[in-house]
Amino acid sequence: MKFLFVHQNFPGQYLHVVRHLGAQGRHQVVFLTQRDDATSLPGVEKAVYKPGRKVDNHVHHYLRETEAGVLNAQQVARTALDLKQKGFVPDVMVGHNGWGEIWYLKDVFPDTPLIGYFEFFYRMQGADVGFDPKESLIFDTGPRLRTKNIGNLLGLDAVDLGQCPTQWQQSLYPARYRSLLRVVHEGVDTAVVTPNPKASVTLPNGSTLTVGDEVVTYVARNLEPYRGFPNFMRSLPAILAKRPKAQIIIVGGDETSYGPGLPAGKTFREQVLQELGDSLDRSRVHFMGKVPYSSFLQILQISSAHVYLTYPFVLSWSMLEAMSAGCLIIGSRTSPVEEVIRHQDNGLLVDFFNSAEIAETVIATLEQPEAFAQIRRNARQTVVERFDLKRVCLPAQLGLLEDVMGRRIG
């Protein structure tokens, strides 16, 4: 069979499914992406596209993301036309809707079913906007968000079937479209992401930490308010004062993935470190930056307490991976987290904004680690039962492909 996948950041959410299809050796798998530097996967052909030009800054600010999506969609369509002229007609097309890439694919292959990945529908209430009580909302916010959903609506009209990773993310979409959207997560390879009593991590200062040490971990793609980074940092002076042997490992970059950023040259890390000043024992706070996946896993495996905070927004893969590694999760009491974490059963929930409560909860887990051993086991069991790659999520993803094609992949 012939498969066409599209994601600007190869392989994105499609790593497991395209690796599986490519490894079978009997399918043609073509992947359209903007990344010409990404490592290829066996049996997967990459076709690189680049938007024809940059977004015009003179476009109305409501429409800049939409224009960026149109530029992506046009170039994807042109690349798809080239493939078609060379004789490639896919049996099914799959792509992330977030950057507009799939909008015009049906104009190239009108008879080929299209599955879109839908991650987030913007809302004035019940999600990220207005979550921070300090955030000032103005009338412009509503029209801006409504316009921001143009891409969602274009994609929903284009696809034959949609995929959302969680129930909460699906619930953000208008009720009239929800029957089109299946909840299928990408999954966690629980055979790889496991507890490991022999794990160790070498810090930038040359010292090594193991499972026997007191280690508080925090992971985000980038260190920013949407992932609760400032609130986590404000909890550290109390944790370090109460637990003199505790070490803090922080993974993440200094860019901004979500929400408004700071002026050029400024980072949230620098801002909060300046705020905390001498109250923070910097010798026990270790910023690792962005690390290789193998290092990331070992950081999780030596964690005594893993703090995961997020706005009501897209749930991070890292939280599920931390659970699979047997981490004790201290998570924010926000909708995406509460869909997975049950307080005092498979994790602990805290107020996103309450740094004192975060500190108290972490301290309690470090004082009596044996009291939370069952919660750790329950966390891993949750992921094994609901998010296991090979038993649950990969079969469900393949099921989406089979449903729209009306036949078995084999």
Angle at 205 between CA 200 and CA 206, to 5 degrees: 50
> First-to-last CA distance in the chain?
10
Confidence at residue 98, expressed as pLDDT on a 0 to 100 scale: 95
Going by pLDDT thresholds of 50, 70 and 90, the confidence category of residue 144 is very high
As separate numbers, helices (DSSP H) first and strands (DSSP E) second, the chain gives: 14, 15
Give the residue-averaged pLDDT of 122-136. 90
Summarize pLDDT for 323-341 with one digit per residue, the tens. 999 999 999 999 999 999 9
Confidence at residue 410, expressed as pLDDT on a 0 to 100 scale: 67
Give the residue-averaged pLDDT of 179-190. 97
Give the residue-averaged pLDDT of 216-239. 97
Residue 198 pLDDT greater than 70, yes or no? yes
CA atoms within 13 A on the CB side of 400: 30
Instruction: Quote the CA–CA distance of 93 and 115 in Å, as a whole number.
Output: 6
**Most confident listed range (46-60, 214-228, 396-410):** 214-228
Alpha helices in 86-158 (DSSP H): 105-108, 141-148, 150-158
Instruction: Quote the CA–CA distance of 319 and 219 in Å, as a whole number.
Output: 9
Summarize pLDDT for 62-73 with one digit per residue, the tens. 999 999 999 999
Contact 348, 331 (CB under 8 A): yes
Give the residue-averaged pLDDT of 160-172. 98
Which of helix, strand or coil describes residue 45?
strand
CA atoms within 13 A on the CB side of 236: 32
CA atoms within 13 A on the CB side of 260: 6
Summarize pLDDT for 356-404 with one digit per residue, the tens. 999 999 999 999 999 999 999 999 999 999 999 999 999 999 999 999 9
Which residues 6+ apart lie within 8 Å of 74 measured at CB? 51, 52, 104
Residue 259 pLDDT greater than 90, yes or no? no
Summarize pLDDT for 283-314 with one digit per residue, the tens. 999 999 999 999 999 999 999 999 999 999 99
Tokens of 64: 């800049």
Which of helix, strand or coil describes residue 49?
coil
DSSP letters of 177-236? Answer: GGGGEEE----B-TTTS---TT-EEE-TTS-EEETTS-EEEEEEEE-SGGGTHHHHHHHH
Confidence at residue 344, expressed as pLDDT on a 0 to 100 scale: 97
Tokens of 3: 């498969």
Confidence at residue 242, expressed as pLDDT on a 0 to 100 scale: 97
Give the residue-averaged pLDDT of 160-177. 97
Which residues 6+ apart lie within 8 Å of 409 measured at CB? 1, 21, 27, 398, 401, 402
Give the residue-averaged pLDDT of 249-267. 90
C-alpha Rg value of the chain to the nearest Å: 22
203: left (phi over 0), alpha (psi -120 to 50) or beta: beta
Confidence at residue 140, expressed as pLDDT on a 0 to 100 scale: 87
Q: Are strands 208-210 and 200-202 parallel, antiparallel or unpaired?
A: antiparallel
For 16-51, b where at least 16 C-beta lie within 10 A, e where not — what string?
A: bbbbbbbeeeebbbbbbbbeeeeeebebbebbebeb
Residue 178 pLDDT greater than 80, yes or no? yes
Confidence at residue 18, expressed as pLDDT on a 0 to 100 scale: 97
Domains observed in the chain: 2-187+389-405 (3.40.50.2000), 200-386 (3.40.50.2000)
pTM of the model as a whole: 0.94
Token pair 């980038």: residue: 222
Q: Comparing C-alpha atoms, which of 17, 79, 7 is closest to residue 393?
A: 17
Tokens of 386: 């609901």
Neighbour tally for 78: CB within 10 Å: 13
Average pLDDT, the chain: 95
Instruction: Quote the CA–CA distance of 279 and 203 in Å, as a whole number.
Output: 22
Instruction: Quote the CA–CA distance of 267 and 289 in Å, as a whole number.
Output: 13
Going by pLDDT thresholds of 50, 70 and 90, the confidence category of residue 135 is confident
Give the residue-averaged pLDDT of 153-160. 97
Instruction: Quote the CA–CA distance of 389 and 142 in Å, as a whole number.
Output: 38
